[in-house]
Amino acid sequence: MSTQPDLLYSEEEDALRAAVRDLLTDHCDPAGVITRMETDAPHDLALWKSLAEGMGLAGLLVPEERGGQGASHREAAVVLEELGRAVAPVPYLTSAVVATEALLACTGDAAAELLTALASGRRIGALAVALNVAPGGAYKVVLHEGGLLHGELTAIADATAADVLLVPADDGGLYAVEADAVTVTPQVSLDLTRPVATVVFDGASARLLGDAEPAVRRALRAGAGLLASEQLGLADRSLTETVRYLKDRKQFNRPVGGFQAVKHRLAQLWLEVVGLRAAARSAADALATGSADSGVAVAVAQSYAAPVAVRAAEEALQLHGGIGMTWEHPAHLCLKRAKADSIAYGTPGSHRAALAELIDLRTP
Amino acid sequence: MTVDATELIRRTRELLAAKPPADTDRLDFLRARFDAGLAWVHYPEGLGGLGAPRALQPVVDAELAAAGAPDNDPRRIGIGLGMAAPTILAFGTEEQKRRFLRPLWVGEEVWCQLFSEPGAGSDLAALGTRAVREGDDWAVNGQKVWTSSAHVARWAILIARTDPDVPKHKGITYFVCDMTDPGVEVRPLRQITGEAEFNEVFLTGVRIPDAHRLGEIGDGWRVAQTTLNNERVAIGGMRIPREGGMIGPVAKAWRERPELRTHDLHQRLLRLWVEAEVARLTGERTRQQLVAGQPGPEGAGLKLSFARLNQEISGLEVELLGEEGLLYEDWTMRRPELVDFVGRDAGYRYLRSKGNSIEGGTSEVLLNIVAERVLGLPSEPRTDKDVAWKDLAR
């Protein structure tokens, strides 16, 4: 095994977290998210502008000479922890991580130009692969005929916010397609804060970016690895909010958080969140350093993160009692995001299957 | 003068020159090391240390190990080093420190701990062993349990009730007990593995001179906190490699014996492998926090996680082994000197790890501690705080 990963947060990462949290506290309150998600514009593009253009966070993974910030997955992971905590409806994971990683895998002027545009935050990109596909998993492609694309793709996350789609085609190429050249139809999504959509290609003109296979694999692996940090933010928020509420909420003339049956559940959840933090940092660090161990680190983090985030959100709902079941209370924001996240970029089971090969614990 | 690393290396080399390990008797060398202040450098001068930072101890240890010097076999005398010594240092008289610390550290005198009782486990402060003042002595009567090393120990740290008429935490006094006293009877306590790692200790009219009391009369609970807090200090230094724990032998069996594999076991093995790896990373992160001088509360949960994982993993391993899982290495009653999972069969690991969620704080009590001290949730309602010990329900 290689050297130990750095599992801590640096001072700069702590400062970055504080800045993102300040912005989200002021501009992404739960009531606003709940109101917005039922409108025709579920994404908060003003918030995206502040994050991407104002703070320069869309270009963290892009080298400075290509128009980005030249930071790494470690910093992007910290941003995602905070965005997860707020269940922020912005296309950060899909554009600044997944689409950006796909472009980083491509050479050539078309990819370079688009990469710079995404890094600046002025344009939003989306990889046209269904959100549930795991790294290394099979994905649907469109037909490439005479320079035009034909076909239909479903479950494309944040497609309604995207200016440009990165589309794998049957000839093995990855193509850039302008959003106004296709028909994007929102699907009624479980998680309205990261909605999925159908994209119909009816002779859409396209620019070749590079080979689809390596680009998609790299993009999905980074997406899966950094999703663990978003799940950490979600789980930590669910736990913190529930503890806060139960110190205050009284039944039987005492705080509900004083009952041992409840205390033990929360303590157990805390243990799992602590474990998730170590696993998520391990994945982010492995991606940042390009470690040979990154396949294992990502598979471990994603196998562990999804059930913890879902359980944290489910426990939060149960332990809030009736109020947690209302549309008005934000507990369902975490629950829906956590459940959708448990499918995104591969289920825990698919990551365990990948792990079985990587660590040589093979199927019977 | 503060002693830095360079000075420690100089003194260590001076010791090695004066007492070349190859030509020196082991105990002579260890005594000389103690007298040179290189035993535990953070202890005071004259008591085996130099008042140096504790973090510098590895400098001395590495220098001595490189020279092939003998060590004091710390695993054999863990209770003395980890629990008795810090308590004696914090609460002992000058005379007690001079009498006890040197033979303790070199390992001439083994120590054990007489704390738990059949009627006082998680609720240790409810203990009922009585110590009654008789002239310059105390007469002690009672029963202690789960005492490792009692059969080889020269001394014990003991807590006993000296005042039954006050609430339980207030009537306890802390003593050093002579294990060669004729009133001390040690019986092996056989456990579910077939072995007896521990003992029951019966105390009948044991005489303890008042000069062997540690701390004030009635202040024993506070003194015992020093002992118990030091029990938990040891974690954090160790780096565990991937598959370094109990998951290692199961993974090995899976790889080497394809005929044992089933789909159900595969799913469970992969889940446990992931959890073991996450627990390892959590331990590593805790270690990195300590090294960086930012200790967090995360360490509090490690014992809970490892207890559960050891039990689940060893349970899976017994099942994986199928026909072999029906067998057990040996039920002969033995008295092992050390507890070690390495080299033992899966059945032993399965049975011994059942104790992991009981010893050193039950998992139920530790969950309360996490809930109250880390999450800040209300503490359990207490009905025992203001009641005299003699009036408690039992």
Distances in Å between the alpha carbon of A27 and those of A78, A120, A238?
Answer: 18, 21, 20
In a domain, B85, yes or no: no
Residues B279 and B222 in one domain: no
Model pLDDT for residues A162-181, shown as the tens digit of each residue: 999 999 999 999 999 999 99
Best to test chain A binding among B367, B368, B372 (most A CBs inside 10 Å): B367
In a domain, B202, yes or no: yes
B118-153 exposure pattern, b = at least 16 Cβ within 10 A, e = fewer: eebeeebbbbbbbbeeeeebbbbbbbbbbbbbbbbb
- Phi, psi angles (nearest 5°) of residue A263: -60, -45
Q: For residues A41 and A56, give the distance between their C-alpha atoms in angstroms, rounded to a whole number.
A: 23
* Position B294 confidence tier, pLDDT thresholds 50, 70, 90: confident
Of the three residues B71, B103, B119, the one that is the final residue of a domain is: B71
Residues B184 and B129 in one domain: yes
Chain A within 8 Å of B291 (Cβ-Cβ)?
no
Residues B174 and B226 in one domain: yes
Residues B260 and B220 in one domain: no
Closest alpha carbon within chain B to A356: B270
In a domain, B143, yes or no: yes
Query: 3-class SS at A251?
Result: strand
Residue A233: what residue type?
Answer: G
Q: Do A364 and B261 touch (CB under 8 A)?
A: yes
Q: Do A264 and B367 touch (CB under 8 A)?
A: yes
Residues B115 and B226 in one domain: yes
Min Cα separation A316/chain B (Å): 15
Q: Do B378 and A255 touch (CB under 8 A)?
A: yes
Q: Annotated catalytic, B364? A: no
pLDDT of residue A171: 98
Of the three residues B168, B198, B231, the one that is the final residue of a domain is: B231
Model pLDDT for residues B112-162, shown as the tens digit of each residue: 999 999 999 999 999 999 999 999 999 999 999 999 999 999 999 999 999
Residues B120 and B43 in one domain: no
Please, are residues B193 and B350 in contact by the beta-carbon 8 Å criterion?
A: no
For range B286-303, the mean pLDDT: 84
pLDDT over 60 (residue B234): no
| H or E element at residue A127 | strand A125-127
* Domain count of the fold of chain B: 3
Residues of A with CB under 8 A from a CB of B: 1, 4-8, 243, 246-247, 254-255, 257-258, 260, 262-264, 266-268, 270-271, 274-279, 281-282, 300, 303-304, 352, 355-356, 359-364
Q: Which of B275, B371, B379 sits opposite A266 (nearest CB)?
A: B371
Best to test chain B binding among A231, A271, A352 (most B CBs inside 10 Å): A271
Q: Which of A1, A263, A274 sits opposite B377 (nearest CB)?
A: A263
Model pLDDT for residues A276-294, shown as the tens digit of each residue: 999 999 999 999 999 999 9
Domain at B165, CATH number: 2.40.110.10
- Tokens for A157, please give them: 């996350």
Contacts of A363 in chain B (CB under 8 A): 261, 263, 266
Least confident of A260-269, B73-82, B336-345, B369-378: B336-345
- Tokens for A204, please give them: 């859409």
Q: Which residue in the block uniquely carries the two structure tokens 């994050």?
A: A51
pTM (whole model) above 0.90: yes
Closest alpha carbon within chain B to A353: B270
Chain A within 8 Å of B293 (Cβ-Cβ)?
no
Pairing mode, if any, of strands B155-161 and B184-189?
A: unpaired
Min Cα separation A353/chain B (Å): 8
Residues B264 and B172 in one domain: no
Q: For residues A325 and B388, give the distance between their C-alpha atoms in angstroms, rounded to a whole number.
A: 47
Q: Do B367 and A276 touch (CB under 8 A)?
A: no
Residues B120 and B16 in one domain: no
Residues B215 and B270 in one domain: no
Q: Which residue in the block uniquely carries the two structure tokens 């799992």?
A: A272
In a domain, B299, yes or no: yes
pLDDT of residue B121: 93
Residue B200's region, left for phi above 0, alpha for psi from -120 to 50, else beta, is: beta
In a domain, B321, yes or no: yes
| Averaged pLDDT score across all residues of chain B | 93
Domains along chain A with CATH numbers: 11-123 (1.10.540.10), 126-212 (2.40.110.10), 214-358 (1.20.140.10)
Q: ipTM of this complex > 0.85?
A: yes
pLDDT over 80 (residue B2): no
Q: Do B278 and A352 touch (CB under 8 A)?
A: no
DSSP B208: E
In a domain, B272, yes or no: yes
Q: What residues form DSSP beta bridges with A150?
A: A143, A202
Residues B212 and B257 in one domain: no
Residues B195 and B275 in one domain: no
DSSP B116: -
| Residue among B310, B320, B253, B254 at smallest CA distance from B279 | B310
Q: Do B377 and A258 touch (CB under 8 A)?
A: yes
Model pLDDT for residues A198-249, shown as the tens digit of each residue: 999 999 999 999 999 999 999 999 999 999 999 999 999 999 999 999 999 9
Task: Quote the percentage of chain B above a pLDDT of 90.
Answer: 84
pLDDT of residue B339: 75
pLDDT of residue B235: 43
For range B173-193, the mean pLDDT: 98
Q: Which domain, by its residues, includes B313?
A: 247-360
In a domain, B82, yes or no: no
In a domain, B91, yes or no: no
Residue B211: what residue type?
Answer: A
Of the three residues B50, B71, B92, the one that is the final residue of a domain is: B71
Distances in Å between the alpha carbon of B392 and those of B27, B119, B221, B384?
Answer: 49, 12, 17, 7
Closest alpha carbon within chain B to A302: B274
Q: Which residue in the block uniquely carries the two structure tokens 């002693």?
A: B3
Residues B180 and B262 in one domain: no
Select which of B108, B185, B231, B359 is catalytic: B231
